[in-house]
């Protein structure tokens, strides 16, 4: 009775292996360097000028609408974003476009950073892939005393639905925090911070509101 299933399993395993090989090849072709993999999160980096670009690749057990809802709730960013002290929406243009402010905790004696972001979310009607892009807009509001305004930052979340309720996730970060940073802090930015963010999201998104979310502008 299991005979018809065995070829199907082999086919799926082969496809999964090919997909992993293909993704690794694509990352290599784009100049990405594999850093490590821990707890199901692959980390890649590449250096552009004096700034490191970072890409994290993983899968999350959550529907597209749930993850889209998570990314749209700016006020909740401190609950799962690593070292996010404060976050607030400044202007909502639509369900898929907003401006927001975030303040980031930097270790003493460095000044904390803040950032103003213009964020847009789009979905491909055929593949259902969601792309949520955030680009810094530093002059949207005047700076704050004792806080360094980050003027050059770009993040992109790419979400692609998979089988069994899983979603393939890529998290791209290009961020210039400004000023001269010690090597240990740069290493933390390359490894600890973004990985902890993914781990927090993995737990946070298990809430029923995200697992059963339905959004009019998102096709699951």
The string of pLDDT tens digits covering residues 16-56 is 433 444 444 444 457 899 988 999 999 998 877 667 889 99
Q: Is residue 156 part of a domain?
A: yes
**Residue spans of alpha helices (H) in the chain:** 5-29, 64-72, 77-80, 183-190, 192-204, 208-211
pLDDT, tens digit (0-9, with 9 covering 90-100), for 143-183: 999 999 999 999 999 999 999 999 999 999 988 877 666 65
Residue 65 included in any domain: yes
**CATH number, domain containing residue 173:** 3.30.530.20
Q: Quick check: helix, strand or coil at residue 143?
A: coil
Smallest CA-to-CA distance from 67 within 154, 148, 130, 113 is with 130
198 belongs to a structural domain? yes
Instruction: Classify residue 81: in a domain, yes or no.
Output: yes
- Number of folded domains in the chain? 1
The answer to whether position 219 is within a domain reads no
**Do the Cβ atoms of 134 and 121 come closer than 8 Å?**
no
- Model pLDDT, residue 183: 56
Q: Is residue 89 part of a domain?
A: yes
| Contact residues for 168 (Cβ-Cβ < 8 A; gap 6+) | 57, 59, 159, 160, 161, 162
State which residues form the domain around 164: 32-211
Judge whether 61 lies within some domain: yes
């Amino acid at each position: 009775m299991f005979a018809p299933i065995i070829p199907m399993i082999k086919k799926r395993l082969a496809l999964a292996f090919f997909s992993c090989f293909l993704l690794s090849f694509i990352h290599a072709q784009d100049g990405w360097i594999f850093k490590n993999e821990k707890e199901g999160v692959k980390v890649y980096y590449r250096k552009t000028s004096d700034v490191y670009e970072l890409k994290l690749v993983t899968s999350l057990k959550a529907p597209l609408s749930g993850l889209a809802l998570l990314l749209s709730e700016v006020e909740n960013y401190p609950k799962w974003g690593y070292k996010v002290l404060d976050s607030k929406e400044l202007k909502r243009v639509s369900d898929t476009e907003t401006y927001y402010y975030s303040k980031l905790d930097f270790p003493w004696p460095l000044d904390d950073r803040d950032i103003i972001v213009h964020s847009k979310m789009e979905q491909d009607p055929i593949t259902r892939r969601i792309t949520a892009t955030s680009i810094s807009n530093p002059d949207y509001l005047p700076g704050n005393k004792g806080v360094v305004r980050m003027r050059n930052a770009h993040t992109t979340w790419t979400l692609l639905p998979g089988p069994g309720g899983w979603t393939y996730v890529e998290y791209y970060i290009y961020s210039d925090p400004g000023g001269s940073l010690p090597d240990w802090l740069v290493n933390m930015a390359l490894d600890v911070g973004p990985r902890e963010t993914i781990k927090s999201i993995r737990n946070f998104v298990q809430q029923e509101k995200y697992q059963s979310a339905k959004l009019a502008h998102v096709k699951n």
